[in-house]
Amino acid sequence: MERKQFELGDIVRMKKQHPCGSYNWEVVRMGADIKIKCQGCGRLVMLPRSQFEKRMVRVESKDTGGQTRQ
């Protein structure tokens, strides 16, 4: 099975709705754990990568901030 592709700053849709009513989350930190921020209320949640990949449905929009790493 192919791993899901996502990057820092992407907006992703999760399987379950957050209590505030939003399905969309922004990827804030990546590593062994993934930190995501709710687009509805701003709540920050940290999940293990394996759990995050199971719960993520798709990438809604890519980060277009134009930031480059050096």
pLDDT tens-digit series, residues 13-68? 999 999 999 999 999 999 999 999 999 999 999 999 999 999 999 999 887 665 54
Domains in the chain: boundaries: 11-61
Q: What distance in Å separates the CA atoms of residue 22 and residue 4, rounded to the nearest whole number? A: 21
Token pair for residue 32? 């062994």
Q: Tell me, yes or no, if the pTM score tops 0.85.
A: no
pLDDT computed for residue 33 by the predictor? 96
CA distance 45 to 29: 10
Bridge-based pairing of strands 24-29 and 11-14 is antiparallel
Both ends of the chain: CA-CA distance in Å?
32
